Amino acid sequence: MGIFDKLQPLAAARRALAEKGVKSINVTMEEVLSPTEAVINGRRTILVGTNNYLGLTFDAGCIQAACKALQEQGTGTTGSRMANGTFAGHVALERELADFFGCRGAIVFSTGYVANLGMLSALAQPGDVILLDADCHASIYDGCRLGGAEVIRFRHNDVSDLEKRLRRLGDRAANALILVEGIYSMLGDRAPLKEIAAVKRQYGACLLVDEAHSVGVLGNRGRGLAEEVGVEESVDFIVGTFSKSLGAIGGFAVSNHPELELIRYASRPYIFTASPSPSTIASTRTALQLLRTRSELRTRLWENARRLYQRLSELNFRLGPEVSPIVAVRLPNPEEAIFLWNGLLERGVYVNLVLPPATPDGGALLRCSVSAGHTPEQVDRICEAFTSLRETAQTAQTIGTVTSPPARGGSV
């Protein structure tokens, strides 16, 4: 077998997509106009697939802070945190993150993906046990593989299945690490974290929550699902990203365990990855302050989320199980998803096209993520584009309609 032969199925899949009119699902934004608009294929397009939840990518304060750091400290660190890549800004951001979450310590990573790789590969190694929700993000699965721990999946958001698997571990349960997410990235549903925390306490296990999509979105102070349901004291580690609500790139972990500091010396992704650039750190620090002080951004985000979810529900699209800034339009097959995705793009609306095997239930979906930056008029235009496609499609009565209860399970 040639080294490239394994890629031929991917080539065949791309050809099949091209035959359906999809040149690439990785569209090029020729010009970015604002947090919510860009020029795509020469057309001014509303962006509703960017995870830019608070709309901070064009905030004047964030841009000013980034420019100042760029001028004073240069374009990059050119080294890892353990070598020459720890600047004063990295230390300050870690201190500010720890203060924001009310935790003893924090570690900043180069991306959210690297944060999961770095934390999980250091925390759980051969001989340890991980119990993870089946719908956890790919970075969580990859972090588990990198560490070499035994991995046991439990059914998505099924607390009784988690408890059963912990019970079967016997004495090993006290050394197990449970992994869940605050908001799951495909369907926008939340973990039953209060119940999971109770099971965790019952068996003495550790609990890590990936709050990538819930920081800035949930909780009175925007700290995520753990804050919203009142179980922060039961969560051992929180992992998150700067590339959603904070409008930049990077990742972090916070914890009250003093051993968090030792992760720096045990995590290969942390030790051997160049650290974030000074401009990225500066804009993130400013965005974190805005997250703390401008609660109206969260209010506006949820107004937009409820507006879009309700309107699409009224159109009888099959959606994710609950209102969320991630509004997933669930479709039974790729052909219908591609038809709608192309039609939306032609009408100046960009959403994420997600096809199997990335979907939780083997179907297909259009993943919308709203922002505090969207105006009510933009949300209405998004809904009008969906309405137009519903009315003009030959299969108008069947595309994406609710025919059965939402399926659960699967992995992303």
Catalytic residues: 185, 213, 244
| Residue 162 near residue 184, CB atoms below 8 Å | no
Q: Cβ-count burial of 177 within 10 angstroms (0-12 exposed, 13-18 middle, 19+ buried)? A: buried
CA–CA dist 134, 20 (Å, integer) = 31
DSSP 317-363: BEE-SS--SEEEEEESSHHHHHHHHHHHHHTTEE-EEE-TTSSTTSS
CA–CA dist 157, 181 (Å, integer) = 10
Q: How many CA atoms lie within 13 A of 303 on its CB side?
A: 15
Hey, what amino acid is at 213?
Answer: H
Q: How many CA atoms lie within 13 A of 99 on its CB side?
A: 10
CA–CA dist 358, 234 (Å, integer) = 31
Residue 116 corresponds to which tokens in the numbers above? 């999961």
Rounding to the nearest 10 degrees, give the CA dihedral for residues 218, 220, 226, 232. 160
Residue 141 corresponds to which tokens in the numbers above? 């699965």
Q: Helix axis angle, 138-147 relative to 112-123, nearest 10°? A: 30
**DSSP 8-state code for residue 221:** T
The strand pair at 150-154 and 43-47 is best described as: unpaired
CA–CA dist 412, 400 (Å, integer) = 21
Residue 296 corresponds to which tokens in the numbers above? 């109206």
